[in-house]
Structure 1
Amino acid sequence: MAYGIPDEDPTKKEIIDPPDVLDQKLDQLAEWIRNAKHFIVFTGAGVSTSTG
């Protein structure tokens, strides 16, 4: 039995940003969190896996 996303499906590719783009996105996220009145994080099984 196979698990995960088939390699031939181009709509399901994992996006990996270059380090400079990732830094910009993390800075923006940090700003949103600092300015938020409330902040919620959903965690659990499958959240951190690339196949969801």
Structure 2
Amino acid sequence: MVLAGTAWAYSMGDADSTVIFMFLPPPATAVPEPASLLLLGPGLFGLGWVVRRRRQRP
């Protein structure tokens, strides 16, 4: 098992034939906070309500 962020080298005898393998950690992904999701839901609902209300007016 190779851990992320580790590096190791393999040599066939002399310095010219050394191969270095480097395993970098995967890029971090942003995870939204629960509070921002709780604010996003009512915001989208309110926006939809305003658009619907404007369409119903003459």
Range class of TM-score, shorter chain: 0.3 to 0.5
Higher strand share: 2
Higher helix share: 2
Question: What is the TM-score with the length of structure 2 in the denominator?
Answer: 0.35
Q: Which has the larger radius of gyration?
A: 2
Higher relative contact order (CA 8 A, sep 6+): 1
